[in-house]
Amino acid sequence: MRALVTGTSGFIAGHLARRLVAEGHEVVGVDVAEPRRPVEGWRDVRLDLRDDAGVEHLVNEVRPEVVFHLAAQASVSISMREPRLDIETNVIASLTLARAAAEVGARRFVFTSSGGAMFGDPPTVPAGDDTPVEPRSFYGASKGAAEKYLKIVEYETGMTVASVRPANVYGPYQDPHGEAGVVAIFSQRMLRGEPVTIFGTGSDTRDYVYVGDVVDAQVRAALAPSGEMCVVGTGVETSTRRIFDELARLTGYEVAPVMAPPRAGDIPRIALDASRAAAVWGWRPQVSLEDGLALTVEAFRTA
Ligand SMILES: NC(=O)c1ccc[n+]([C@@H]2O[C@H](COP(=O)([O-])OP(=O)(O)OC[C@H]3O[C@@H](n4cnc5c(N)ncnc54)[C@H](O)[C@@H]3O)[C@@H](O)[C@H]2O)c1
């Protein structure tokens, strides 16, 4: 396939672009930021996707068959401080990109939403795809809104839209300096012997899904006969404290965490029931938390 992948200087799209290139697909990657890792085998374009004319020009030139849209303002905390930036990046730029792609005859638009943030504090955990969209953060609201806008593009144009709704993604090369990505932040700080902060009591739970498994869901979403919207997670709740303890063991870190008040927009617990992804994409997580954390620490150790 000829694929346009957005957000390739970031964590998940960087892994996805590598997998697509390895499988022989033609890939154009786009991101506003410089890549943190070397670009291997794809054309790398610098563009702010909030630039409508720039997006239309790029899409006209590339004429992608499939668009994997991962570029986003991806932090809950930043969304609470700067909701306008969040809307412009996650909703408006997604809409412009999708309409431009449909205009040049793209077959499939694979959006990356958020299973965790979109459902807020769900009545049932693990939460499946029938969970009401009741976000508690502007970030979650922007992802839910983008899904609605993209479905309208599908009705309007016939380009099918899929949405991968991941839980908390972790793995090698996640930015350890961001405001999200607890595994990356803890791993690097522990390996450097620096203090590690836990916001809240440490009993908050998340569903940690390995980046390779999320990339696999993206590829399946692109190849499936129709556009589907599915949560992608393990169904298992893991507390922040357990992540701290596992990583401390793997890195030999012996310092107690610094405890700080919870952050705005954070939810107390989440895990996702991916039975719909299993039914329509044949997707199941392959990498256990123990193996995934070990792979992540190893990558940070050798970086
Ligand atoms: N990491 C997770 O746990 C997680 C969970 C659920 C959903 N997601 C979603 O997956 C996608 C990828 O997340 P990630 O963890 O790789 O994040 P990331 O921050 O590592 O990557 C996002 C990339 O988007 C780029 N970007 C941001 N604004 C842009 C703009 N205006 N124009 C062009 N590029 C822009 C950034 O420069 C960055 O390289 C996002 O859509 C995110 O919301 C991530």
Residue range 196-218: mean pLDDT, rounded: 97
Kindly give the number of the ligand 1 atom that is closest to the alpha carbon of 116.
Answer: 6
Q: What is the pLDDT of residue 17?
A: 98
Q: What confidence tens digit (pLDDT) does each residue in 106-155 have?
A: 999 999 999 988 998 899 999 999 999 999 999 999 999 999 999 999 99
CB-based contact 101:64 (threshold 8 Å): yes
Residue 57's pLDDT band, with cuts at 50, 70 and 90, is: very high
49 lines ligand 1 (CB under 6 A): yes
Alpha-carbon distance 271 to 41, whole Å?
Answer: 35
Instruction: Walk me through the domains of the chain, giving residue ranges and CATH numbers.
Output: 2-169+209-233 (3.40.50.720)
Mean pLDDT on 192-205: 96
Cβ–ligand 1 contact at 168 (below 6 Å): yes
Report, as an integer, the average pLDDT of 271-296.
98
Given a contact cutoff of 8 angstroms between Cβ atoms, the answer to whether 171 and 292 are in contact is: yes
| 220 has pLDDT over 90 | yes
Q: Which of 5, 6, 12, 270 gets mutated to test ligand 1 (max ligand atoms within 8 A of its CB)?
A: 12
Amino acid at 151: K
- From the CB of 12, is ligand 1 less than 6 Å away? yes
**186 Cα–ligand 1 center, Å:** 19
135 touches ligand 1 (CB under 6 Å):
no
pLDDT confidence of residue 177? 85
- Average pLDDT value for residue range 237-246: 98
What pLDDT score does 151 carry? 97
Distance, CA of 167 to CA of 213 (rounded, Å):
11
Average pLDDT on 204-222 reads: 97
Q: What are phi and psi of 42, to 5 degrees?
A: -125, 160
157 exposure class (CB count in 10 Å sphere: 0-12, 13-18, 19+) = middle
Distance 256 CA to ligand 1 centre (A): 31
234 in ligand 1 pocket by Cβ < 6 Å? no
User: At 74, which amino acid appears?
Assistant: A
Q: pLDDT confidence of 4, banded at 50, 70, 90?
A: very high
% of the chain with per-residue pLDDT over 90: 92
Q: 265 pLDDT exceeds 80?
A: no
* Residue of 139, 170, 210, 253 marked catalytic: 139
- What residue owns the CA closest to ligand 1's atom 15? 11
Residue 82 in contact with ligand 1 by CB distance below 6 A: no
| pLDDT at position 266 | 76
Residue 216 has pLDDT above 80, yes or no: yes
Query: Of ligand 1's atoms, which has the minimum distance to the CA of residue 33?
Result: 37
The answer to whether 139 is a known catalytic residue is yes
11 lines ligand 1 (CB under 6 A): yes
Helices 182-191 and 240-251, packing angle to 10 deg: 30
Q: What is the mean pLDDT of residues 237-254?
A: 98
Nearest protein Cα to ligand 1, atom 38: 10
> What end-to-end distance do the CA atoms of the chain give, in Å?
32
Q: What's the confidence (pLDDT) of residue 54? A: 98
Q: Report the separation in Å between the CA atom of 72 and the middle of ligand 1, taken as the mean of its atom positions.
A: 4
- The DSSP result for 57-80, as a single string, is HHHHHH--SEEEE--S---HHHHH
Q: Is 218 near ligand 1, meaning CB less than 6 Å away?
A: no
Pocket test for ligand 1, best of 75, 97, 169 (most atoms within 8 A of CB): 169
Q: How far is CA 230 from CA 59, 97, 207, in A?
A: 26, 21, 15
Summarize pLDDT for 67-100 with one digit per residue, the tens. 999 999 999 889 999 999 999 999 999 999 999 9
